[in-house]
């Protein structure tokens, strides 16, 4: 199949693009290079077609794609706090993608976020009442509602995947917006102590990037019409437990610095109820936190060196 991955030079998008290429698909990527870099394609750089620009510019490529995997979305809450106008870009680009899909009968799979569950007690289900908490999560909810509308009005096949705390190799280009697993690893590599907000007992459903890639491929193969699915392990670990696992993998004791949490509307707990994704997509995460950390350390990147 001819597939476009938006944000395909970013962290998750590049992993998806490489997996699709490995499975024999004709893969192109479009990326604004906001947090992406060409090096994330690794040995496939030059073998996957790369276009530079915003996701909504896919019309200008002059190509007909059978499917679009949309990862090219500003992916961190602080980005929106610094610039709320990013919301208009997110919605504008997504409408452009949906209009393209309507015309070309393309299937769409896109990245939503577990952050929409802020304030919802775990395990968090897709049918939970979603409170308004910040600009970032509102953008994802708007996208989900637009997707449902395009499915109802025009029959566009579109699936939203709510990712839970994705981590893995090749997050360097995300810098301060990377997952805490990677950020803490970088800090420890520099001989410094990681900083934890609060007491470290806040929890995350840490999900390894390869499991997220698998969820995208399962959604692409399915015949869902419209659907929203959690993508997580269905297990949570505290930040303290994550730091302990990181220290064990590195063979050293890590002494975090604890400070008062400066973030308003901070997400305290995430844990996916994965029953719907398991039933409808056949998805089940395979990689534990300890195994995921080991894979980062073994990866041929600067994250795994030192």
Strand partners, 159: 109, 227
Q: What's the pLDDT tens digit per position in 53-105?
A: 999 999 999 999 999 999 999 888 888 888 999 999 999 999 999 999 999 99
The DSSP symbol for 20 reads: H
Contact 134, 125 (CB under 8 A): no
| pLDDT value, residue 301 | 57
Residue 305 has pLDDT above 70, yes or no: no
Q: Is 163 a catalytic residue?
A: no
**Other residues' Cβ atoms within 10 Å of the Cβ of residue 248:** 14
Residue of 80, 100, 136, 208 marked active site: 136
Determine whether 191 is exposed, middle or buried from the number of CB atoms within 10 Å of its CB (0-12, 13-18, 19+). exposed
The model scores a pTM over 0.75? yes
Q: What is the mean pLDDT of residues 21-44?
A: 92
Strand partners, 70: 6, 110
Q: What is the mean pLDDT of residues 8-18?
A: 97
How many CA atoms are closer than 13 Å to the CA of 211, on its beta-carbon side?
A: 30
Q: Which residues, at least 6 apart from 286, have a Cβ–Cβ distance to it below 8 Å?
A: 210, 211, 214
| pLDDT value, residue 304 | 43
Q: What's the pLDDT tens digit per position in 202-236?
A: 999 999 999 999 999 999 998 779 999 999 999 99
Query: How far is 169 from 287, CA to CA, in rounded Å?
Result: 14
Strands 166-167 and 237-238: unpaired
**Other residues' Cβ atoms within 10 Å of the Cβ of residue 59:** 13
In order of their start, the domains of the chain are 2-164+208-232+271-285 (3.40.50.720)
Question: Helices 86-104 and 135-154 meet at what angle, rounded to 10?
Answer: 20
Contact 116, 166 (CB under 8 A): no
Over the chain, what is the mean pLDDT?
A: 94
Q: Quickly tell me which residue has 């056949």 as its tokens.
A: 282
**For 287, phi and psi rounded to 5 degrees?**
-100, 120
DSSP string, 197-253: ETTS--EE--EEHHHHHHHHHHHHHS--SEEEEEES-S--EEHHHHHHHHHHHHTS-
Question: Helices 209-221 and 11-22 meet at what angle, rounded to 10?
Answer: 60
Q: What's the pLDDT tens digit per position in 154-187?
A: 999 999 999 999 999 999 888 888 999 999 999 9
């Amino acid at each position: 199949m001819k597939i476009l991955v938006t944000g395909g030079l970013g962290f998750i998008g590049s992993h998806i693009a490489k997996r699709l290429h490995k499975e024999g698909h004709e893969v192109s990527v479009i990326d604004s290079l906001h947090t992406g870099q060409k090096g994330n394609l690794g040995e496939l750089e030059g073998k996957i077609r790369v276009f530079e620009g915003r996701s909504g510019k896919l019309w200008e490529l002059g190509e007909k794609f059978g499917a679009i995997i949309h990862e090219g979305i500003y992916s961190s809450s602080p980005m929106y706090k610094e610039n709320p106008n990013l919301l208009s870009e997110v919605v504008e680009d997504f409408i452009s993608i949906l209009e393209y899909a309507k015309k070309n009968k393309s299937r769409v799979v896109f990245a939503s976020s577990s952050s929409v569950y802020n304030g919802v007690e775990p395990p968090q289900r897709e049918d939970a009442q979603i409170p308004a908490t910040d600009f970032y999560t509102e953008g994802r909810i708007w996208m989900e509602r637009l997707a449902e509308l395009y499915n109802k009005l025009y029959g566009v096949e579109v699936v939203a995947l709510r990712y839970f705390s994705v981590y893995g190799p090749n997050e360097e280009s995300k810098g301060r917006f990377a997952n805490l697993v990677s950020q803490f690893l970088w800090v420890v590599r520099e001989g410094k102590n990681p900083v934890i907000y609060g007491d470290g007992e806040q929890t995350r459903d840490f999900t390894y990037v390869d499991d997220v890639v698998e969820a995208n491929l399962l959604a692409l193969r399915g015949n869902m019409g419209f659907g929203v699915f959690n993508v997580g392990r269905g297990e949570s670990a505290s930040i303290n437990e994550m730091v302990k696992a990181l220290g064990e993998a590195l063979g050293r004791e890590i002494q975090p610095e604890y400070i008062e949490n400066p973030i308003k509307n901070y997400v305290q707990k995430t844990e996916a109820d994965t029953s719907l994704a398991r039933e409808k997509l056949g998805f089940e995460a395979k990689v534990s936190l300890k195994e995921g950390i080991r894979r980062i350390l073994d990866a041929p990147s600067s994250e795994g060196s030192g």
